Chain A
């Protein structure tokens, strides 16, 4: 018996968005599992906000489609909006309302019954540590506390999906740490999509990271592998037809190879090779394989072109 594959919570297919003639994102594909914490990492202008706005139904994609919990964001916008909590990048709040009144108002807009709003109000105020500011006018709060109010309104209705656009931008390091741990906590139960231009941040919070650059997704990986890429290790994957007991040591002996891992995928033997930084070992590897009489069935560079992008990303790390 096969275990049924659960449908993804979010499925984006070939999403393109134009502002006038200018494409902000192009042919973006990704899916998010239920309960997953996914990070969008990219420099300024990469298209993160545009992607978030499409997910939340604020902007319709020019081409392609996005579905959330099986509902199309354009066709079934209302259903999608019922399931999403959203923290926009600029944290737009009604500055003349008090924290409590604002949260009640947003709860009502999300269709919560009055009794449930009352019950949740105390909870989100606790979770977001806004206890001393219930009656404070939002306009008088500092940036960091406004950010908390922004998160509080995003979670008050217990949405299935939480979309957070740069949730830690513009707040001080202590609050950044608090906000990150808050998101981690929320991510245990909810599906979270967040954007950031800070690599350490996404690697801390997210299970999976999509790197978006100039409107395209250029890489997708776990934070661990991304961190390795950041260290400048060249990775490549080869598929070899031959006895793995001999292939493995042969590959390891090649000058410049740091490590080799072997994977047997239903008779297909693939080897992931870690090379010294700056070394191009493709010719040496193919010579070694062919010279031993084995067949070279495939070779793929993993993440070499990422280095430059990472550099750009990491130079913007301002913490």
Chain B
């Protein structure tokens, strides 16, 4: 556990000190701010965070890989992985430590969007239910997206490749429910069930369904498991 904490702490410091992370964060806030305020021009704007949530899940497709691409790929490139993997550290400790660091930075970004919530409560009286549910969904969605990025960063020493492949996977998962219409039948339904967006929409409506929670946790577990295996397999190359 001390090792996980040490790995996570080192990465968190890099996140909070590196300009890249701040640029990514600013882009996130600027774009979500745009989504949030888009409908405010209406004569009767709805007191809801839904536009923000809907915008944020799209932005995460780009943002999560940008946060995670560095985590292992950079160590492979610089060779520091040689000292990391020859230290008495278990592979899962490395993966979990690095993943937690990205998750914490991500949560800090999401917390900054609390500004919108405050605005909403000051100027209107929104229904708090969908806001709680939406944030829970957003956190789960983001955590799942980060786990995808974690895997691709483990597979290559090229950060750009890691980011692009993760974006591809996230796009495919995002639009998986479209395959539901295109394929049809049972296969289509199964593919549709894998869609990361499908499982988000209930949260946005204010519904907390354990099925969706289980879905996101499974995605996270699956990709982190593959990351650990991928790191292990580096020893066999």
B87 touches A106 (CB 8 A): yes
Instruction: Digitize A62-98: 1 where CB-to-B-CB distance is under 8 Å, 0 elsewhere.
Output: 0000000000000001100110101010101110110
- Give A81 to B89 CA distance when docked, in angstroms: 8
B86 touches A105 (CB 8 A): no
> With A58-B235, A105-B10, A109-B89 given, is the CB distance from A86 to B3 under 8 Å?
no
B2 touches A108 (CB 8 A): yes
B6 touches A105 (CB 8 A): yes
B90 touches A106 (CB 8 A): no
- Give A81 to B235 CA distance when docked, in angstroms: 13
B14 touches A96 (CB 8 A): yes
Task: Give the distance to chain B from A146, nearest Cβ to Cβ, in Å.
Answer: 12
Chain B: which residue is nearest A111 at the CB level? B88
Which residues of the other chain, B, contact A58 by a CB distance below 8 angstroms? 82, 85-86, 235
Instruction: Identify which of B7, B14, B82 contacts A92 (C-beta below 8 A).
Output: B82
B115 at the interface (CB under 8 A from A): no
Q: List residues 54-93 of chain B with CB under 8 A from any CB of chain A.
A: 78-90
- Give A58 to B6 CA distance when docked, in angstroms: 21
A109 touches B84 (CB 8 A): yes
B236 at the interface (CB under 8 A from A): yes
B86 touches A110 (CB 8 A): no
Which residues of the other chain, B, contact A81 by a CB distance below 8 angstroms? 86-89
Chain A: which residue is nearest B9 at the CB level? A105
Instruction: Digitize B1-17: 1 where CB-to-A-CB distance is under 8 Å, 0 elsewhere.
Output: 01100110010001001
B87 touches A110 (CB 8 A): yes
A57 at the interface (CB under 8 A from B): yes
A60 at the interface (CB under 8 A from B): yes
Task: Give the distance to chain A from B232, nearest Cβ to Cβ, in Å.
Answer: 10
B6 touches A108 (CB 8 A): yes
Task: Give the distance to chain A from B186, nearest Cβ to Cβ, in Å.
Answer: 43
Task: Give the distance to chain A from B71, nearest Cβ to Cβ, in Å.
Answer: 13
Task: Give the distance to chain B from A68, nearest Cβ to Cβ, in Å.
Answer: 12
Instruction: Digitize B76-112: 1 where CB-to-A-CB distance is under 8 Å, 0 elsewhere.
Output: 0011111111111110000000000000000000000
- Give A109 to B4 CA distance when docked, in angstroms: 9
A301 at the interface (CB under 8 A from B): no
> With A109-B87, A111-B88 given, is the CB distance from A60 to B79 under 8 Å?
no
A78 touches B10 (CB 8 A): no
Return 19 A-B CB contacts under 8 Å, by A number: A53-B82, A58-B82, A58-B86, A59-B235, A77-B235, A81-B88, A82-B88, A84-B86, A88-B82, A88-B83, A96-B17, A97-B10, A108-B3, A108-B6, A109-B3, A109-B89, A111-B2, A111-B3, A153-B83
The interface of chain B, by Cβ under 8 A from chain A, is: 2-3, 6-7, 10, 14, 17, 78-90, 235-236
Given contacts A92-B78, A92-B83, A110-B88, could you give 18 more A-B pairs where the C-beta distance is less than 8 Å? Answer: A53-B82, A58-B86, A58-B235, A60-B236, A84-B86, A86-B82, A88-B83, A92-B80, A96-B14, A97-B10, A105-B6, A106-B83, A108-B3, A109-B6, A109-B87, A109-B88, A109-B89, A110-B87
